[in-house]
Structure 1
Amino acid sequence: MKKSAITILGIFVMVVALMSTANKLQASTGTPVNDTTGVHDPMLQVANNYGINALGIRAIGTTGITYKHFNARGNAFEAILGFGYNSFSITGLSEKYASPFDTDIVDMYYGFGGHVVFQSDSNLGVDRNRFDNDDDEFGVGVDFILGLEMMIPDTPLALSLDIKPFFEVATTGNAYFGIDPGFGVKVFF
């Protein structure tokens, strides 16, 4: 319980710091919030400036390589190839972007998807007690995601902070729930 409280507190502090930094960056750049049509989608602007794809890394919970592809409506598909001790996972997520803050540097994203996780003769994953046999095991799960993404002005780089709660059923016959927080760095191309 103590570890969960510390994780939640850490996420809260990082969100506040991220929002504060975004407001300071917006104030220093003087970037307008709305374009001439009255509607502004920062991720579409990033896609137009730097590309519709992003490649990066994710750490804290599921740690690995991420790939994100944006469509013309500002929605994204994200794939995460996660690595652990003698294990790996593949996650696919459909994400929607929104701009709930008074800035065009920080966006919120949310969505859902699924994952498959494989392990070989070892423990793995966010909860190392999920697979405790000496045999090869795998699990299948449903994922949800809620996060913030901050663009670094005048660069193709973005920082993200999210939680990716999941529900998983494993070949051990057990079911698991996890919060899976993540911090990411992406480059658009």
Structure 2
Amino acid sequence: MKKYSLVIFAIVLASFTMNAQQYKTGLGLRGGLANGITVKHFIGEQAALEGIVSSRWAGFGVTGLYEMHYPAFDTQGFFWYWGGGGHLGFWNGNDAAWADDDQSYTVIGADGILGLEYNFSEVPLNISLDWKPAINFVGHSGFWFDGGGLSIRYLFR
């Protein structure tokens, strides 16, 4: 009975290991309506922190996210993820499409994220596509549905 228990334990442990992310940190570029730099760092088997510095409307924003990753499509290298966090942004009203005055804006808000990620096994790169809606609580309040992006990262394993 002990032999069977040990074999079952080894199989379960191996299945969790195979589902783990294949890198520790990724650094790269993010494109979309807001373009910028992204860094993602895993703090556990499935949990990661992502930081994004982006530019839009002649201003910039900083976003911090906590994300959970899970295997997708029963395909090695594919993962889906979701999470949330917050942002801080600075814009000039003259350059923002949504502003109707000449004042500058400092905004603080919350973000969600839902996406797919693929880690290439041949080269230390990954690509991700996500939707990142946001809501501003301070500054110009409002809900933004258009926060999606495509990211390409160099992976540090």
- TM-score with structure 1 length normalisation? 0.69
| Local SS of the residue matching 1:37 | helix
* Largest Rg, 1 or 2: 2
Deviation per CA, 1:135-158, whole angstroms, max 9, x where unpaired? 211111111100000112221100
| 2:132 match | 164
Considering fraction of residues, name the structure with more strand: 2
Aligned residue type for 1:175: G
* Match status 1:138 vs 2:100: no
| 1:71 match | 43
| 1:62 match | 34
Equivalents in 1 of 2:119, 2:20: separation in Å?
Answer: 9
Unaligned runs of 5+ in 1: 1-33
Percent identity over paired residues = 30
| Local SS of the residue matching 2:116 | strand
Shift of 1:74: 2.8
Unaligned runs of 5+ in 2: 1-10
| Local SS of the residue matching 2:75 | coil
Cα gap change, 1:153 to 1:35, in 2 (>3 Å): farther
Shift of 1:116: 1.1
Shift of 1:35: 9.0
Cα gap change, 1:42 to 1:72, in 2 (>3 Å): closer
| 2:15 match | 38
Aligned positions, number: 145
Equivalents in 2 of 1:84, 1:60: separation in Å?
Answer: 10
Q: 1:99 aligns with which of 47, 53, 71?
A: 71
| 1:123 match | 95
Shift of 1:42: 4.4
Equivalents in 1 of 2:12, 2:55: separation in Å?
Answer: 41
Considering fraction of residues, name the structure with more helix: 1
Equivalents in 1 of 2:133, 2:85: separation in Å?
Answer: 11
Equivalents in 2 of 1:147, 1:176: separation in Å?
Answer: 19
Shift of 1:60: 1.2
CA contact (8 A) 2:33 2:56 kept: no
Equivalents in 1 of 2:51, 2:100: separation in Å?
Answer: 27
Cα gap change, 1:81 to 1:68, in 2 (>3 Å): same
Aligned residue type for 1:148: L
Aligned residue type for 1:70: F
CA contact (8 A) 2:131 2:149 kept: yes
* Match status 1:182 vs 2:154: no
Aligned residue type for 1:110: W
RMSD (Å), alpha carbons: 2.0
CA contact (8 A) 2:20 2:45 kept: no
